[in-house]
Amino acid sequence: MNITSYLIRGLATGGQFALVAIGYTMVYGILKLINFAHGELFMVSGILMIYIVADLPTLPIGLAICLMAALTVFIGFLIEKFAYSPLRSAPRMSVMISAIGVSYLLQNLVSYITGGLSKQFPDIPVIGESVRFLGIKDKLTVFLSPVIAIVLTVILVQIINHTKFGMAMRAVSKDFETSQLMGIKINRVISITFAIGAFLAATGSVLYFAKNTGINHLSGANPGLKAFIAAVVGGIGSIPGAVVGALIIGVAESLAKAFGLADFSDVISFGLLIIILVVKPTGIFGEKTTEKV
Amino acid sequence: MSDNILEIKTLNVRFGGILAVNDISLDVRRGKIVTLIGANGAGKSTILRSVSGIVKPVHGEILFEGENIMGLTPEQIVKKGITLVPEGRRVFPNLTVLENLKMGAYLRKDDYEKDLSYVYRLFPRLEERSWQSAGTLSGGEQQMLAVGRALMSSPKLIMMDEPSLGLAPLVVRDIFSIIRTINENGITVLLIEQNANMALKTCDYGYVIETGNITMQGEGDKLLNDDRVKEAYLGKSRNG
Amino acid sequence: MKKMMALLLSVVMMMTLLTGCGGAAAGGSGSAGGTLTAYVLAEKGDTYSLGLANNFKTAFEANGGKVIMETFPTNTTNFSDYLQKSLDNKADVIFAPNSTTVAANLLANANDLGIECPIMAGDTWESSVILDAVKGTDLEVYCSTFFDESDSSSPAAKDFVAGFKDWLNNNSEYKDMNGGNDIVAAVSALGFDAYNVALAAIREAANEKGSDLTSIDIANALWGLSIDNAVTGKIQFDQNGDAIKDSAYIKKAGDGAFEFMKVQTSPNNAAQGTPADYGNATGVKLDTANKKIVIGVYEPTSGNNAAGGKQEVLGIYYANSLDDTVKIDGTDYKVELYVSDNGSLEENAVTAASNIVGQGALVSLGSYGSGVSIAAAQTFEDAGIPAIGVSCTNASVTEGHNYYFRTCFLDPFQGSVMAQFAWETVSK
């Protein structure tokens, strides 16, 4: 058996999930909200790409990707403005139900537009090319995904740790009111957080759908769920945690298939989640929080 | 206009129908230390939070340097030169000491190096620990950081909500001496305290607030010698 | 306590991992020999997919081949790790009888991995989705179906295709029903056969009972029927009432269209059934007063399956246009069709079937779609009318329904046929 191939594909899936997981973890970090619509946003960005390429055939693919990312960010922003922002002082449960509502709304909208049929993601040059590397033949995106995920994460962590805005984000994640007293515009920080999450989801969706080219309205459910598990395993609220969690989940599921345990790949993800929650409830990179009541 | 840097007129604040602040009017004279004393839940914090723009009053006026600032956002109010040191210090535990101080200067576009060295002069301890994360500081150090952070916005008026709460007596004395120093450097101070004894000794003028109403006001030493105040607040503060 | 639980969990996980590992190792050593290896991939919980896959496995192994079968959970989108298995095991053929949604991803992944062996599936892959997925790749993709108009091996099929096309082109109304073209749909051929089966059974019953015949006699006659020259191959019914099919039509996904490859046969060992016990059911009597025989056509001419339903009806119409009189006791009886639309909906089934019963039909044909057929089975049974399913492939249509027959093969049969085709293709 060629273990390398499973490892590489596991890391690829992991890298793609990582970009989604960061969105979960960042929004949780700021709003303490599991943004259930995030997986759907990931799917929507894939669908957007299909329609952009179909409707604007003359547009170079690079620009199409930029346009898609911009639209995804805009949708992420709208979701926050209309579904979460009005509920800022409502109980957390209400916001979560709103998130679930948005997630179904996006699914139903896409199924209405596509008629529930699977659509083909366009061919993306470069990352869609087949290459042979380490004796494994696959699309370049498979080999690039973990690298891109890690590079983007490093950049993001640098921004958060070393810029004024990053500082504001960290402050807001701990204390809304005091941050306001410092003159931080909370809503702007939250909007930008959603925008970053949406941008990374859009990047992840290009990498993911360049490989898994069939998209329908349910295509976001599984990546969304796995990314969420990854975020929790890594320690929700922690960005490096989300990435490490996603890589672990990706590799674990891939290896499960290698050993003929494909049937149990979901079980393995959830098993991992349970073990982490039992041994270290805050996740691998999670910090201990003493929540003030 | 007048000597008052802050004038609050017939301020009313409600929380879900419950009256927290009832038609309160008070003035803070420029360059002075003014204190509000009163029992827990009397509405003192609510007044400061209204001035900061965090709480939206039902009606009334809040004039800062003659201009009504009611209805402005917290960040607009910070820009005008009002800062609040919140109750319980509320430093950002996940940020370093230096980052906390920088957060205080968040809205400033000018160079704040001078203010930073001023804060470090006031609190040498903070400079020693500038790279430590704020969550690891002791309570007294956190209070110093909270005050230092407020000073970083180069305010005209600094409001402090229970700065001595939960601190050791020695530290409390330090804090009050710092308050005086800050005031001597030209910053007006509006102070809330349960430690009425210390507060009245430090202040120029004081208000006594009971269940949302002002029941007494006067110079600090006058109130300090008032029998009713003695009975209601000073005795308690000594025991507590 | 928490630590203990974690330990326990990890031990369980380790054990499952290890047992899985052992299984895979054992599988790996076998592939070194000279036998042919097939990799079969089915979707968990999907009766169609699993049925085809299991039949393929049985048939392929019966030929002496080795089968590695895996199932994947619903909503899987990345099949690389599964397909890698086929590479690791040097599979000679991949059988993946799945939905077209699965196929779109699976074929893209197969292309990425550079899979060179043929990939095969059942009739669901006869779809434009597959053509799109195969376009521009070197993938070799096959699927099976009921019938193909390019089949020139049997004279019956050739005559039917030529005659049917001609008939369509001479009747614009019917051509419109066929979607505006003269392409012969598989279901039209099946409908044509079903009508002729019904007529053969009526004639058989008439031989025995004369003008006393009832619908029960027709049902009894169906069990003993043997038609060698049907368009879609020989028709005999097994103990379930299913046509004993031994062939299917193999097509290859080419550039923009499916190419007909061949009629693939696969032994079907089912024996002809014996008449069911109809007790003292009376059934429907021959209408001697009006000298006519009504045949119900129970089909969806509206709703989701309208397109297929109409094509099936066309096959029946065409058959009726060729042969519409039965001589009973020296008198000519005219065969009339009564079309009752079930709207592709199960909730319409009983009403639509009752209308057929109300018309005094002796036999009913249809439907396209298994769900509506199953839902109408009881109504036909209560009236004592035999029903001949045309393209309802689900096993439950005839199982436990003594009055239901069908002229098409069942879903899983395609697995056996494909195994046979795969065997013959790759062992060349």
Q: Which residues in chain B have Cβ-Cβ distances shorter than 8 Å to A181?
A: 52, 54, 74, 78, 83-84, 86
Query: What residues does B111 pair with on adjacent strands?
Result: none
Tell me, yes or no, whether C340 and C416 share the same domain: no
Number of domains chain A contains = 1
Would you say residue C102 has pLDDT above 90? Answer: no
Nearest chain A Cα distance for residue B132, angstroms: 14
Which residue has better confidence, C132 or C386? C386
Q: Which residues in chain C have Cβ-Cβ distances shorter than 8 Å to A221?
A: 75
Q: Is residue C428 part of a domain?
A: yes
Q: Which residues in chain A have Cβ-Cβ distances shorter than 8 Å to C9?
A: 271, 274-275, 278
pLDDT number for residue C197: 95
* SS3 at position B57: coil
Tell me, yes or no, whether C361 and C399 share the same domain: yes
Q: What is the pLDDT of residues A87-123, one digit of tens each?
A: 988 998 999 999 999 999 999 999 899 887 778 888 8
pLDDT number for residue C74: 78
Asked if chain B contacts chain C via 3 or more Cβ pairs within 8 Å, the reply is: no
Tell me, yes or no, whether C263 and C389 share the same domain: no
**Which among C44, C78, C85 has the least Cβ separation from residue A13?**
C78
Tell me, yes or no, whether C71 and C133 share the same domain: yes
d(CA A18, CA A255): 18
Q: Which residues in chain C have Cβ-Cβ distances shorter than 8 Å to A13?
A: 78
The CA–CA distances, whole Å, from C392 to C47, C122, C187 equal 14, 15, 10
pLDDT number for residue C104: 84
Backbone angles phi, psi at A160, to 5 degrees: -70, -35
pTM for the model: 0.75
d(CA C310, CA C344): 11
d(CA C67, CA C61): 7
Tell me, yes or no, whether C112 and C175 share the same domain: no
pLDDT number for residue C23: 37
d(CA C300, CA C344): 5
Q: Which of A39-43, A283-287, B39-43 has the highest mean pLDDT?
A: A39-43
Q: Is residue A100 part of a domain?
A: yes
Q: Is residue C137 part of a domain?
A: yes
**Which among A139, A214, A278 has the least Cβ separation from residue C104?**
A214
Which residue has better confidence, B1 or C286? C286
Q: Is residue C8 part of a domain?
A: no
* Beta-carbon separation of A181 and B84 below 8 A: yes
Name the H helices within C291-394: 306-322, 349-358, 370-383
Residues lower than pLDDT 70 in chain B: 1-2, 235-240
Tell me, yes or no, whether C97 and C168 share the same domain: no
- H or E stretch at B36: strand B33-38
Neighboring chains of A (3 or more beta-carbon pairs < 8 A): B, C
pLDDT number for residue C3: 52
The CA–CA distances, whole Å, from C206 to A81, C123, C331 equal 77, 38, 11
Q: Is residue A290 part of a domain?
A: no
Query: Residue A191 belongs to a domain with what CATH number?
Result: 1.10.3470
What's B48's DSSP letter?
A: H
Tell me, yes or no, whether C115 and C175 share the same domain: no
Would you say residue C131 has pLDDT above 90? Answer: no
* Beta-carbon separation of A222 and C77 below 8 A: yes
Q: How many CB atoms lie within 10 A of CB C244?
A: 21
Dihedral angle of Cα A277, A278, A280, A282, to the nearest 10 degrees: 30
Where are the extended beta strands (E) located within chain A? 119-120, 130-133, 136-139, 214-215
Q: Is residue A227 part of a domain?
A: yes
Query: What residues does C179 pair with on adjacent strands?
Result: none
pLDDT number for residue C101: 80
Would you say residue A248 has pLDDT above 80? Answer: yes
Q: What is the mean pLDDT of chain A?
A: 90
Nearest chain A Cα distance for residue B107, angstroms: 6
- To 10 degrees, what angle do helices A3-31 and A38-55 make? 110
Tell me, yes or no, whether C191 and C54 share the same domain: no
Query: Residue C421 belongs to a domain with what CATH number?
Result: 3.40.50.2300
Choose, out of B52, B54, B75, the residue to mutate when testing the contact with A (most A CBs < 10 Å): B75
Residue A289 sits at the chain B interface (C-beta within 8 Å) = no
Q: What is the mean pLDDT of chain C?
A: 86
Q: Which residues in chain C have Cβ-Cβ distances shorter than 8 Å to A257?
A: 81-82, 85
Tell me, yes or no, whether C84 and C201 share the same domain: no
Domain that holds residue A102: 3-279
Q: What is the pLDDT of residues A153-206, one digit of tens each?
A: 999 999 999 999 999 999 999 999 999 999 999 999 999 999 999 999 999 999
- Give me A8's structure tokens: 């590489």
Residue A178 sits at the chain B interface (C-beta within 8 Å) = yes
Q: What is the pLDDT of residues A141-158, one digit of tens each?
A: 999 999 999 999 999 999
**Which among A137, A219, A266 has the least Cβ separation from residue C113?**
A137
Would you say residue A133 has pLDDT above 60? Answer: yes
Q: Is residue C1 part of a domain?
A: no
Q: Is residue C337 part of a domain?
A: yes
The CA–CA distances, whole Å, from A102 to A75, A196, B226, C31 equal 11, 19, 62, 50
Tell me, yes or no, whether C166 and C225 share the same domain: yes
Q: Is residue A17 part of a domain?
A: yes
Nearest chain C Cα distance for residue A25, angstroms: 24
Q: Is residue C128 part of a domain?
A: yes
Which of A14-28, A272-286, B178-192 has the least mean pLDDT? A272-286
* Beta-carbon separation of B103 and A167 below 8 A: yes
Residue B133 sits at the chain A interface (C-beta within 8 Å) = no
Number of domains chain C contains = 2
Q: Is residue C23 part of a domain?
A: no
Would you say residue C31 has pLDDT above 50? Answer: no
- Give me C12's structure tokens: 């369980």
Tell me, yes or no, whether C63 and C173 share the same domain: no
Q: Is residue A114 part of a domain?
A: yes
- Give me C86's structure tokens: 């086929």
Q: Is residue A284 part of a domain?
A: no
Q: Is residue C13 part of a domain?
A: no
Tell me, yes or no, whether C42 and C99 share the same domain: yes
**Which among A164, A174, A180 has the least Cβ separation from residue B94?**
A174
pLDDT number for residue B192: 92
Q: Is residue A42 part of a domain?
A: yes
Segment C103-109 mean pLDDT: 88
Domain that holds residue C181: 156-237+272-408
pLDDT number for residue C254: 87
Residue A164 sits at the chain B interface (C-beta within 8 Å) = yes
pLDDT number for residue A290: 45
Q: What is the pLDDT of residues C159-212, one digit of tens each?
A: 999 999 999 999 999 998 888 888 888 889 999 999 999 999 999 999 999 989
Q: Is residue A292 part of a domain?
A: no
Q: Which of A262-266, B78-82, C25-29 has the highest mean pLDDT?
A: B78-82
